[in-house]
Structure 1
């Protein structure tokens, strides 16, 4: 049976002052896949994700999610449809506790019932390994643990699509191993789009990889196919 695309773009482009940050990108993400998005700094990855999430308006092209054109929907409407995301710069509420941060996200999904929110918060924090810090202010966490808190906030929304932008930045090696296991676990519940510089992580957990360069798709394929791709080696992997 052919895979069903959860998310797709057609001719998606964005310019900033005449600079084409994303150029005519056609992209398809099948439901249930772990897709990695990689590329050199300045390749357009964060802009592309911003276009998917509705935080950046497209100059041209379209975005479809769950077989619906969402090109003109604002970010909060896309969240309501089942997107959740973390960004390269953490967006936690620094002075709120971990509980309060995750509870805010959980209420988007289940409303205000306190018992249900408590269960969602406890489950999400346990899955990212932050249970013992429930009552701490988020600002007391290391940068890496703030990234894990963001993931917990995403988990609590029970998204259909979870977008993770540089999630392992600031994590120790042991925490990265735990993260890899967590992503595989979450993939049973959500399609995952992973923007990541750590190629060990990408090669271990991604089902497929899309490579951006100068705002355009340079290559797509399974991890080993991308590893062997000469154009990708020259542009990003540092070999020839």
Structure 2
């Protein structure tokens, strides 16, 4: 089953095409990585998927419904969760309160507390429930934001540069987390760390200059000469 699709998705800024005519299909249950050089259009593309940026033209379909003009908060209600490239936690609230706020978007009553505990256990922050979010390290704030996404029990979890600022051991734990979620949650991962991409993604989509340059398995993408030249830096 196709959970999310785009057709002809385009966004122009002052006449420049940040994203141009992108057709994209994300099946339910897949871990998809979105990669590309800086300026490739990844953030703009994901912004259109989650409703933070309106497309100039084209369509976004989620679970069979055209959501191209649907507000971002209504997309959350459909089962989408998005973590930002820049942390967006509430610094003056505790770790648990941050996750509870996110959980209440999709849950009620006692289910909220259960979701908080489970999400913090999944990211390894269960011992920091009462700590102010603003006192966490940058890497731990990234993990808190992932927990906020997980607490919503999303059908689609979009993770934007989730390993930025994480230690090697935290990155290893993140890889295990993604593999563990794969059975229940569709994941779209925007990531520069190629070991994370190669070890967690089922399929990789490569953007370059606002267009899809290549798409395929990690092995196929790693061996693609066009991708090597544009992004991996190993081509002639």
Write out per-residue CA displacement over residues 160-191 of structure 1, whole angstroms, 9 at most, x where no aligned residue. 00000000000011111100000111111110
Q: Residue 148 of structure 1: CA displacement?
A: 0.5
Alignment of 1:107 onto 2:97: no
Which residue of 153, 159, 162 corresponds with 2:157? 162
Which residue of 215, 225, 228 corresponds with 1:230? 225
**CA distance in structure 1 between the partners assigned to 2:40 and 2:147 by the alignment:** 28
**CA distance in structure 2 between the partners assigned to 1:116 and 1:164 by the alignment:** 24
**CA distance in structure 2 between the partners assigned to 1:213 and 1:7 by the alignment:** 21
**CA distance in structure 1 between the partners assigned to 2:221 and 2:141 by the alignment:** 31
Which residue of 198, 202, 207 corresponds with 1:203? 198
Residue 103 of structure 1: SS of its match in structure 2? helix
Q: CA RMSD in A?
A: 0.7
Q: Residue 142 of structure 1: CA displacement?
A: 1.0
Question: 1:126 aligns to what?
Answer: 121
Alignment of 1:22 onto 2:32: no
Report how many residues are paired: 235
Q: TM-score, normalised by structure 2?
A: 0.98
Residue 109 of structure 1: SS of its match in structure 2? coil
Residue 108 of structure 1: SS of its match in structure 2? coil
Question: 2:169 aligns to what?
Answer: 174
**CA distance in structure 1 between the partners assigned to 2:87 and 2:214 by the alignment:** 29
Q: Residue 43 of structure 1: CA displacement?
A: 0.3
Write out per-residue CA displacement over residues 126-145 of structure 1, whole angstroms, 9 at most, x where no aligned residue. 11000111111111111111
Q: TM-score, normalised by structure 1?
A: 0.97
Residue 47 of structure 2: SS of its match in structure 1? helix
Residue 76 of structure 1: SS of its match in structure 2? helix
Question: 2:213 aligns to what?
Answer: 218
Q: Residue 116 of structure 1: CA displacement?
A: 2.4
**CA distance in structure 2 between the partners assigned to 1:119 and 1:227 by the alignment:** 41
**CA distance in structure 2 between the partners assigned to 1:207 and 1:162 by the alignment:** 15
Residue 104 of structure 2: SS of its match in structure 1? helix
**CA distance in structure 2 between the partners assigned to 1:116 and 1:222 by the alignment:** 37
Question: 1:45 aligns to what?
Answer: 42
Which residue of 86, 97, 103 corresponds with 1:89? 86
Alignment of 1:145 onto 2:163: no
**CA distance in structure 1 between the partners assigned to 2:118 and 2:28 by the alignment:** 24
Return 5+ residue gaps in structure 1 as ranges: none
Question: 2:2 aligns to what?
Answer: 5
Write out per-residue CA displacement over residues 69-127 of structure 1, whole angstroms, 9 at most, x where no aligned residue. 0011000010000000101011111111111100001111112x1x3222111111111
Alignment of 1:69 onto 2:66: yes
Residue 157 of structure 1: SS of its match in structure 2? coil
